[in-house]
Amino acid sequence: PTDELKIRYKGLNLSHRLTQLPPGIVNAIANHGFDESQPVSQILKGAFLVVNPTASESMISEARRGWEEAAKAGVEIGDLPKVIDDDYQLEPSGQDE
């Protein structure tokens, strides 16, 4: 299928649907594809991590640090750090408030 990423890792062939890539794999790809000298790269990597439900706490902390570094380097990030602490658990449909 065209919506899969196939990786050979430690002698194993692994397949992941693009919509279900583990955050570690995405981060590794980003580390090779993004220009690390550009602070906006930290914003992009962090944005993926904070919205991925399988990201670990250490990955979230890494995103926060990256955003802080980008802001110190002059990148305007506005309220972006606030999304780290937002709860995105949506109520099941049909429930009244």
Rounded Cα distance, 25 and 48, in Å: 12
Residue 21: band (very low, low, confident or very high) from pLDDT cuts 50, 70, 90: confident
- Is the predicted pLDDT of residue 74 greater than 90, yes or no? yes
Residue 34: band (very low, low, confident or very high) from pLDDT cuts 50, 70, 90: confident
- Is the predicted pLDDT of residue 94 greater than 60, yes or no? no
What pTM, to 2 d.p., does this model score? Answer: 0.66
Alpha-carbon distances of 13 from 5, 10, 72, 80, rounded to whole Å: 10, 9, 41, 37
Looking at residue 69, what DSSP letter applies?
H
Rounded Cα distance, 62 and 65, in Å: 5
- Is the predicted pLDDT of residue 86 greater than 90, yes or no? no
Residue-level pLDDT at 87? 67
Torsion, Cα 53 47 17 3, to 10 degrees, reads 150
